Amino acid sequence: MSSSSRRVVVTQRFFDAETRAWLEQHGCEVVIADLPPGKGDGDLTPAELEGLLAGAAGWIVGHARVTRDLLTALPRLQVISRRGVGYERVDTDAVRDLGRVACIAAGGNDASVADHVVAMMLALGRRFRESQDRMLGGDWSILMGSDLYRKTVGIVGLGRIGRSVAQRLQGFEAEILVNTPAFDVEDLGGRLTPVGLDDLLARSDYVTLHAPLTAETRFLIDAAALTRMKPTAFLINAARGGLVDDLALLEALSSGAIAGAGLDTFMSESDPGYRPTTEALLALPNVVATPHAAASSREGLDRTNRVAAMNVVAVLDGGSPPAACVVADGRAVAPA
């Protein structure tokens, strides 16, 4: 099979040379998109994406929207492989209807995101941002913080990343509450306590979100949920922006209804109308924020690059990626 029939377009930055070489060793022609400065593939128009992907058989994608119209315009595109694990921007029905395959890089960034979440907990509890801001202003007085040690942590969603966070918290001797639709009480040696969401919010010193974004989980943390949390509690969202009503969160943080928040995802990523809300959140002294970067360690990106590449090659070879990586496979039901 010629390399032109195995053209793989990568619309993500930080695609490592080793993974590129691995793709080439497996007969692929690799094209790395030259993205505009400060822009990701999620900022590209459908026409720009169509131009970049013309003739591609495989696409390693970040945050671009994978729509029915785009897929229809790209008849040679066989596999869409996310360098990440969320896929709410992929029209999975269209993928199936049009006989394509959509994958995620399951397992590639679990450790990186879990480390990031625990780092946010520590930064919030020990008031790192507030302390440094004061020091820059000449005030070296000590702010009283709080430990993560032996605190109660509520984990909403116990997939791969939620489990990785729970494992790390064992070293802090934390009491771990979990709220998830599929929970095995024997997981992690029975050291986790399954509870309802209201109970978790009321008891936790730290609440961290690891649920997928669906119609059912959108605004899972709204104004009513925030009122159930302790005024000394912290909320961490390194999952998806739509899980939290950012307007309600801004009010809760400004009024002291909760102590602080660690935010790696925002509503404004998918809805530009929330940009003023995001900017107001970033300006608060009790917010520690990163630009959807929890998975973006060198090691984490290398791992997710490789998983995404392996998914592409598996499909181009006529096989199937690992089941945990496949979110839609329309090859068996593709129209004749």
pLDDT at 114: 97
Query: At 43, is the secondary structure helix, strand, or coil?
Result: helix
Measured in degrees and rounded to the nearest 5, phi and psi for residue 144 equal -75, 120
pLDDT at 2: 47
Residue 37 pLDDT level (bands cut at 50, 70, 90): confident
Higher pLDDT, 31 or 186: 31
Average pLDDT over residues 193-206: 96
CA distance 183 to 270: 30
Query: At 74, is the secondary structure helix, strand, or coil?
Result: coil
Model confidence at 182: pLDDT above 90: no
Place of tokens 């195995």: 6
Average pLDDT over residues 214-238: 97
CA dihedral 140, 144, 145, 149 (to 10 degrees): 130
Instruction: Give CA 165 to chain center in angstroms.
Output: 14
Name residue 59's beta-bridge partners. Answer: 9, 80
Q: What would the DSSP string read from start to end of 92-149?
A: HHHHHHTT-EEE--TTSSHHHHHHHHHHHHHHHHTTHHHHHHHHHTT--PPPP----T
CB 319 within 8 A of CB 326: no
Q: Which CATH class is domain 110-289?
A: alpha beta
Domain boundaries, given as residue ranges, for the chain = 3-108+297-333, 110-289
Residue 186 pLDDT level (bands cut at 50, 70, 90): low
Average pLDDT over residues 130-149: 97
Query: At 279, is the secondary structure helix, strand, or coil?
Result: helix
Identity at 30, one-letter amino acid code: V
Model confidence at 219: pLDDT above 60: yes
Which residues have a catalytic role annotated?
Answer: 240, 269, 292
Task: Tell me whether the CATH fold assigned to 3-108+297-333 matches the one assigned to 110-289.
Answer: yes
Give residues with Cβ within 8 angstroms of 37, minimum separation 6.
none
Model confidence at 185: pLDDT above 70: no
CB count, 10 Å around CB of 325?
Answer: 23
Domain covering 3-108+297-333 assigned CATH 3.40.50.720 in the classification: yes
Q: What token pair was written down for 180?
A: 């998830």
Count Cβ atoms within 10 A of the Cβ of residue 1 and give its class: 0-12 exposed, 13-18 middle, 19 or more buried.
exposed
Model confidence at 150: pLDDT above 70: yes
pLDDT at 4: 59
Q: Tell me the residue length of the chain.
A: 336
Q: What is the DSSP letter of 173?
A: T
pLDDT at 289: 98
Q: pLDDT tens digits, residue range 55-90?
A: 999 999 998 999 999 999 999 999 999 998 889 899
Model confidence at 36: pLDDT above 80: yes
CA distance 258 to 140: 25
Residue 190 pLDDT level (bands cut at 50, 70, 90): low
CB 120 within 8 A of CB 174: no
Q: What token pair was written down for 91?
A: 């029209």
Count Cβ atoms within 10 A of the Cβ of residue 323 and give its class: 0-12 exposed, 13-18 middle, 19 or more buried.
exposed
CB 253 within 8 A of CB 278: no
Q: What token pair was written down for 267?
A: 């509503």
pLDDT at 1: 44
Average pLDDT over residues 218-246: 97
Give residues with Cβ within 8 angstroms of 243, minimum separation 6.
209, 211, 213, 217, 218, 219, 220, 221, 237, 265
pLDDT at 183: 58
CA distance 68 to 304: 25
Higher pLDDT, 149 or 1: 149
Residue 103 pLDDT level (bands cut at 50, 70, 90): very high
Higher pLDDT, 248 or 39: 248
- Mean pLDDT rounded to a whole number for the chain: 93
Name residue 175's beta-bridge partners. Answer: 152
Element (H, E) at 209: strand 206-209
CB 237 within 8 A of CB 288: no
Model confidence at 306: pLDDT above 50: yes
What global pTM score does this model have? 0.86
